Amino acid sequence: MEYAVQVATIPVLMPASRADLLDPSALAALGHLELVARWVVDGFLTGLHRSPRKGFSVEFAEHRPYQPGDDLRYLDWRIAARADRWVVKQFEEETNTRAMLVLDVSASMRWTGEAARLTKLAYAEHLLGALALLLLRQRDAVGLVRADDSLRSVVMPSTRTGQWFRLAAALAQPGGGTGTDLVPALSQAAHLVRRPGFVVLVSDLLVEPAPVIEQLRTIRARGHEVLVLHVLDPVERDFPEGAEAVFTDPESGASIAATPGEIRAEYQDTVRQALDEWRTGLLQVGARYALAMTDEPFGQALRALVRATGRGGMPIA
């Protein structure tokens, strides 16, 4: 009966609402990752990216008046003969960006503060699925590295037919380790982006900032743009009131008994300091940083990642 209700709901809900603005856990419950990613992309963009830069490439864009020094090969002789106007053909420059997505699949990412909410990992998987589809639709090469305390899977960047399904299959694979070591994953990703491109890291960043930031500095020095999406559950940021409880680190297994009311203010201050440390450190090395909470619509996090212009922005319009 539950299955029948879900199937009957989909045709009504999706055309009437922008999927990228819906509650992420409710949206994820409606279909598999591949289907949800398509809904999010279709809701997020009505027109796919075309580079605003003009060059003499393969796709005709528009005419402009001839100026002395222009290459005569690109004069439109038909218009010159018909209208006695000298104009030059302009063409859209293909972007051909190469992007590597790096996903943290450690034990801490498999946590949620509420059973009804997506885990940080499930949220990140759906978000990266949508981002990968966006990039592939605009003919950019996309690859993926998944890592916890070791590399779990690597998908080479490509624009070939079937790349989307290879990425989706990799995103659906389980993690295995408990710890987090992002440096080898970032190094592998940068190695696979042979010319200047993008490295996108999605993680809860529950690691020491210094080694990761230093690795990102090296990646930036190679000419790559770096985007970091910091994924947190609202409970991790706010630490709600409650009775005394035992709190356990999912990666180290360390436990401590505490009363939330007694430590809440100090905890929140520590979280703010950690967020400021990451934000400041990443901006200093030229990376782009955005924070995403797992109760926020996927479109909000996507918008933070691909926000348009300047250094650090991803070429999607």
Report the pLDDT value the prediction gives residue 256, as an integer from 0 to 100: 76
36: domain range? Answer: 6-48+96-306
Residues 104 and 183 in one domain: yes
CATH code at 196? 3.40.50.410
Pairing of strands 87-92, 54-55: antiparallel
Residues 79 and 147 in one domain: no
Q: Give the model confidence (pLDDT) of 44-63 as tens digits.
A: 864 334 444 443 334 445 66
- Tell me the C-alpha distance between 167 and 254, whole Å: 34
- Tell me the C-alpha distance between 244 and 262, whole Å: 10
Report the pLDDT value the prediction gives residue 55, as an integer from 0 to 100: 37
- Tell me the C-alpha distance between 212 and 287, whole Å: 12
- Tell me the C-alpha distance between 316 and 42, whole Å: 14
1 in any annotated domain: no
211 in any annotated domain: yes
316 in any annotated domain: no
Residues 221 and 290 in one domain: yes
| Contact residues for 188 (Cβ-Cβ < 8 A; gap 6+) | 145, 151, 154
Report angle CA 234, 240, 244 to the nearest 5 degrees.
Answer: 135
312 in any annotated domain: no
Residues 234 and 263 in one domain: yes
Residues 158 and 236 in one domain: yes
Per-residue pLDDT of the chain (317 residues; tens, 9 = 90+): 333 333 333 343 444 468 888 999 999 998 889 899 998 988 886 433 444 444 333 444 566 777 766 667 777 778 777 777 887 765 544 446 899 999 999 999 999 999 999 999 999 999 999 999 989 988 889 999 999 999 999 999 998 889 999 999 999 998 777 889 999 999 999 999 878 899 999 999 999 999 999 999 999 999 999 999 999 999 999 887 765 667 776 766 777 777 776 788 888 999 999 999 999 999 999 999 999 999 999 999 988 877 633 344 455 54
Residue 143's beta-bridge partner residues? 100
Report the pLDDT value the prediction gives residue 62, as an integer from 0 to 100: 61
* C-beta of residue 252 within 8 angstroms of C-beta of residue 266: no
- Tell me the C-alpha distance between 212 and 314, whole Å: 21
Residues 169 and 79 in one domain: no
In terms of phi and psi (left: phi > 0; alpha: psi -120 to 50; beta: otherwise), the region of 20 is: alpha
pTM of the model: 0.77
User: How many domains, in total, are found in the chain?
Assistant: 2
Nearest to 205 by CA among 232, 186, 171: 232
Report the pLDDT value the prediction gives residue 243, as an integer from 0 to 100: 58
Structure-block tokens of residue 90: 């302009």
Residues 34 and 78 in one domain: no
- b/e code 273-299 from CB counts within 10 Å (16+ = b): eebeebbebbeebbbbbbbbbbbbbbb
- Tell me the C-alpha distance between 288 and 282, whole Å: 7
- Tell me the C-alpha distance between 141 and 156, whole Å: 9
Phi, psi of 286 (to 5 degrees): 85, 15
Task: Residue count of the chain, please give it.
Answer: 317
CA atoms within 13 A on the CB side of 150: 3
313 in any annotated domain: no
